[in-house]
Structure 1
Amino acid sequence: MKIFPAKSFDIPDILKIEHAAFIPAIQEKQATFEERLRVFPEGFLLLSDNSPKTVLENGKPLTAGYFTSEIWPCVPKTDNIFMLGHSAEKTHDPNGSVLYFSSFALLPAFQGKKLAEPFLTGCLDSICGAFPQIKQIILLVNEEWHGAKHLYEKLGFKELRTIKDFFPSLKKSASDGIVMLKSVG
């Protein structure tokens, strides 16, 4: 497994991951991914299975996961900046000090194989290394995603606040979003 920068020709593979990993009500649109790639290509990374077996079976490497992010000027004091499918063009500030990681997913076939932690850590290390002004990392996680929340806590993220009924849910009318924050360095 290797981490690579995403390219525009990767969008169909990214959409396959998005559709396999998330319920329809929260799936990001193709235009959202295209904008994120255009606005902050350094913050859009892929996990690729380029093992000889995979290449032989598929005729090419397999995109196993993706990570998208943008840089914000500061930790937001209000919750109105957090929106599904928000415009990275309107929020990204290449001189900012906060990395917002907006989406992260693995294909179901690669989940539960201890790939999420090294992939996520590799992405964060790469971006923070390239942008040394980044002092904090922020994310928003669905309260129902216990595995993801556990991973973020393991990596040092702490709960900052809760956004009531942020995410559509299959289990109830809506689920809360948990804003998590981690200092860099």
Structure 2
Amino acid sequence: MMLKGYSVRKAEQGDLAAVMQVERQSFEENIVEDESVFADRITYAVDCNYVLVKTNTQSVCGYFTAELWDSSQIGADAFALGHSVRERHQSTGTALYISSFALLPDVRGQSIAEKFFAASIERIAAVFPQLERIILLVHEDWHKAIRIYEKQGFIRTQVLDGFAWFGDRRAFIYEKMIGAFKNSSF
């Protein structure tokens, strides 16, 4: 199914300012990540970072960042905000960790978000066929995001009470075993 007016492409260093604009408009100040974190994601987690682009203006209006982890080395500390992608990312890893996903407020319709989310995962899975599971962390109050994840087949596997990076609120870990993702193209 086509989504008119948008395209998806790999994120580049030149996208950092636009990605940071999306980041600042999407998250509370205390959980906005530094630009250097996004720069490292693009540099060290090659083929794991995508942007949503408005076709008519060629402007970035969303991003999806992820990295590959060794499944045996995932503990609660793995989810720290601003962790070192350089140290954690393993190109041979079997777990895809979705580190962040956001769209500008004016393009946050569920179908756009869902299609962008699914298209990004499909592209990553095509490059890394060894993937066995996908993991993400979500704030307990991000209900729209949770709906997208659950609709895509993710299951809540853990609750982190008093998660420091979310102001001591609860964080949920969602997982999905790699299977057939719905084909969605832009």
TM-score for both structures, normalised by structure 2 = 0.89
- Distance of 2:157 and 2:110 partners within structure 1: 29
Distance 1:137 1:96 in 2: 11
DSSP-derived class of the 2:99 partner: strand
Superposition map of 1:84-123 within 5 A? 84-112=81-109, 114-123=111-120
Regions of 4+ moved over 3 Å: none
Return closer, same or farther for 1:64/1:75 CA change in 2, 3 Å cut-off. farther
For residue 150 of structure 1, report the CA deviation from its aligned partner: 1.1
Alpha-carbon offset, residue 175 of structure 1: 1.2
RMSD of Structure 2 on Structure 1 (CA):
1.4
Shift of 1:41: 2.5
1:134 aligned partner = 131
1:106 Cα deviation from its structure 2 partner: 0.0
The unaligned stretches of length 5 or more in structure 1 are 56-60
Aligned to 2:178: 184
Q: Per the alignment, do residues 113 and 163 of structure 1 end up closer, same or farther by CA in structure 2, a change over 3 Å counting?
A: closer
Sequence identity percentage: 32
Greater relative contact order, per chain length (Cα 8 Å cut-off, separation 6+): 2
**2:25 counterpart SS class:** helix
List runs of 5+ in structure 2 lacking aligned partners. 1-5, 180-186
Indicate the residue corresponding to 1:58 in structure 2: none
What does the per-residue CA deviation read over 1:114-135, in whole Å, with 9 as the maximum and x for residues that have no partner?
A: 2000000000000001100001
Q: Retained in 2: the 8 A contact 1:75–1:98?
A: no
Which digits, 9 at most, give the CA deviation of each residue in 1:81-106, with x for residues without a partner? 11011111111111010000000000
Q: Distance in 1 between matches of 2:83 and 2:36?
A: 11
Aligned pair count reads 174
User: What residue number does 1:20 align with?
Assistant: 25
Deviations 1:152-182 (A, max 9, x none): 011000011111121556xxx5311101100
Q: Is residue 45 from structure 1 mapped to residue 50 from structure 2 by the alignment?
A: yes
Please tell me whether Structure 1 or Structure 2 has the larger radius of gyration of its CA atoms: 1
Paired letter, 1:122: A
Is the 8 Å Cα contact of residues 94 and 130 (structure 2) preserved in structure 1? Answer: yes
